[in-house]
Structures are given as C-alpha cells and as structure tokens.
Structure 1
C-alpha cells in the first residue's frame, strides 16, 4: 500500500446529514452547506460521509449519537449539540421588483402606497411584521408555488415588489430559465446565519468544534468578505 493510501486509511469518518434543502444542500451533495463543510475539514484528518436522512430524523439521530454532524441549524437550536463559533452559511430575505423600477427598500416608511406580496406569517423583522398586518397594499400568500405566484403577480402589475430569499430565488430563476436581470434586488433585511450542529456525544466533539470554528471562518472570508 502506498503512503497516500495509508494516510487515507487513518482518516476518521464523520457521518453528516444530507437532506433535501436545495439550493442550500441537495441530495447530490451540492450546495453551499456541503461546500463549506468540505472546505472546513480539508486537511483536518476527517472523512465526511454524507447520509441521506430527513431533517427531523437527523435531529433525533444527532442527539442520540447516531449522527455526528447536522448542517443548517440556528445556533444553539438543538439540545444535546455543540456549535462552532463560525457560521456555515446565511439566508437573506430581500425585496425584488421589475428591473426598470427605481424604488428601493429603506425601511417600512418606504413601503407607503407600495403594492407588495409576502408569504403569510413570515416575520423578517418584528417591525415589518407589524406593518404588513391588515394593509390593503399588502398581499399575503400561503400554500404552494409562492415564488411562481409572486412573479406572476409582478408581471401582471398586481404588485410592485415581493420578498424572497435571494439564494432560493436565484436557484428558482435558473431552474425555470427566467433571466435573472429581469428582476432588481431592491434591498435586503439583515442576514440570518445557519450553523453546524455537532453531536455532544462524539468523543472528539471539542476538536471538531475547533476545526469548524477556524475552517469556516477562513472559508467564509474568502467567499463573502462583505459580511465580516
């Protein structure tokens, strides 16, 4: 056996939950959650073994020690888990309008007389949530195909803007063959950060936490330096 083979044999295996959360994490092992984890563990002596599992079951398996790592969790959002100090990825809700529309989101005051659509029950911020209640200029959508319905309403001029998560919308436009430059990002809310949960039962949980804290910080600085 070659020296490279021996080095490979010495790698310790970590089981990682893989669930259908496209475009952030997909069953074909693509998406920024996966990219960030692979980058953080590069050269650290661990092999990541992705395990297809529904998210709800993954939480239970992590708590009972049958799973080592669960990506895409709010920090301290799971009992019986350890979290690194560095985030894995972020989501960001933004306003989108027609590309030629000069309007920009500058707080709730900028929504005066603006026809908008939002997903029913979504908060964004407490101030925004309070504002959109019982407003005639706000359409609340629930159920399936919300992005399709928002885009349709925008095209028919029934609304002037809608809110959506920027990465999810970009993925949707690409999948549907819709030109991204047909829309304008008119401004965003503050990002919400997703973390990696580590099973507290793992004997090397503290070491794994350290690797992720350092590795993800370095990786994120190279990918989205504007958030630092």
Structure 2
C-alpha cells in the first residue's frame, strides 16, 4: 500500500536566538516552535533550515523556501505577512545596575562609550551615529564574531564601555541562559519597535493559505495564554510589555 508523504512547509533564516535558535537545540526558537505546533495541528510538517539572511530572503522570494523567519515588512515588502506579528525587534541600551545614565536620544550618547556589534543594523539614525564615530574608541567600540554579545557584556563589566546596545529579546535570553538575569539594567530603547514575522513567499500559491493558518493559530494561542507561556519559556517579555508605552510600528 502506498502512503502519501506528509505536506511539508520549509522555513529558514540565520540564527537569531530566541527568535530562531540552532536546529538541534532543546528549544529551537519562538518562531520555529510556533510554526511547528500550529502547522502540526493541520497535519503539516515544518522543515526548519539555517542559512544566511540574504540567501533566506532570496530563496523565499523565488519560492524555494515557503517562509523566512523574523523578517520585517521593510526587509521584504513583496512577501505575504500575517495580520499579527508574533514578535518585535526592540533595540535597547543596557548598563550595570548602579549606573544612572539613560538613553534619551542621540544627544545622550555624548556622555558614554557604546558597545555595539559590527555589521548589525540598529536603525538609520543609530547606524549613522555609529558609522560616524566608529574610529573613535571613546564613543563607539564594535565587537565582531559569533561571541560579539559576550565580548560586549565583558567590556561592560570591566568598565571598558559604559553601555551596550542590543535587541531586547536577544539580551533577555542571553542573560537568562547564563544565570545573569539581574546583572544588567535596561536604560532606554529606540522609540520605534519593528514588528517581525514569519513572512511567506510571494511566488507560491499556497502562501496565502499558510499565512491564514498561522494567523489563526496565533490568535488561538494569544487567547488561551499559550503565546505568553512560550515567551516565558524563552525568558523574554511579551511584545506588548513596554515601559515607555510606544506601540509597535512598521
């Protein structure tokens, strides 16, 4: 007797934990887990692949991949997006708990040395600032490589930089994983949050159906509290919880 192979949805992105983590990790990432669970309810298997960001966008646009993980609307405006975003990219500054400095716009950076990561985008305004001062070690210090965040946190601990800039989910998950939840304090964030999505290929006729399935799943998980439970398991806060009350924008 012949059996039909299960329907498979291919999703991909470069590792951006906790959004999407290593495929063999005990926790594959918030977006990966959501996709696996929601589509499994419809008998659809999720094949999660790791590739570099440019390749993930290109292959999804060409229809070789069903969806790219963690895209904002500006990353791929021609893709198919769900009504709700399962996450946000929130860029924040961190210091040691005893420090009184707070980020209040570019002018407040005049008084500090910032630890940032080479090649990362922090939005047009901050990118311009970091590029302008990248040769001035008293203003900006760029870390590179797979351990760049750890390097910046170590510099902060040794007072080689005054503050570190990082995605809030990435920082929360890193500190929790290393038992350092209270080691740093968040001292202000970029005012505009960027919603991030599981963004579906514009080249595939099935994309609209998949997007609707994912949207319906997100709505169910939000209503049941399961969405917040998933965020909690990854040691991150729900996207709606923000102290300065700036709503996510795109």
1:88 & 1:192 partners in 2: Cα distance? 11
Query: Could you state the TM-score of these two structures normalised by the residue count of structure 1?
Result: 0.75
Q: Which runs of 5+ in 2 are unaligned?
A: 229-237, 242-246
Flag the structure with more relative contact order, 1 or 2, with Cα contacts below 8 A and sequence separation at least 6.
1
2:123 & 2:74 partners in 1: Cα distance? 20
1:165 & 1:137 partners in 2: Cα distance? 22
1:141 & 1:32 partners in 2: Cα distance? 28
Task: Indicate the RMSD between aligned Cα atoms, in angstroms.
Answer: 3.3
Instruction: Report how many residues are paired.
Output: 218
Query: 2:156 aligns to what SS in structure 1?
Result: helix
1:119 paired residue number: 117
Query: Could you state the TM-score of these two structures normalised by the residue count of structure 2?
Result: 0.69
Cα pair 1:81 1:199 within 8 Å, conserved: yes
* Cα 1:76–1:210 shift into 2, 3 Å: farther
2:47 to 39, 47, 50: 50
Higher strand share goes to which structure? Answer: 1
1:166 to 158, 165, 168: 168
1:179 paired residue number: 180
1:76 & 1:156 partners in 2: Cα distance? 37
Pair 1:191-2:193 in alignment: yes
Q: Which runs of 5+ in 1 are unaligned?
A: 1-8
2:111 & 2:61 partners in 1: Cα distance? 49
1:72-221 → structure 2 map (5 Å cutoff)? 72-75=70-73, 77-78=75-76, 81-120=79-118, 122-132=120-130, 133-134=132-133, 137-144=138-145, 145-175=147-177, 177-189=178-190, 190-217=192-219, 219=221
* Cα 1:155–1:16 shift into 2, 3 Å: same
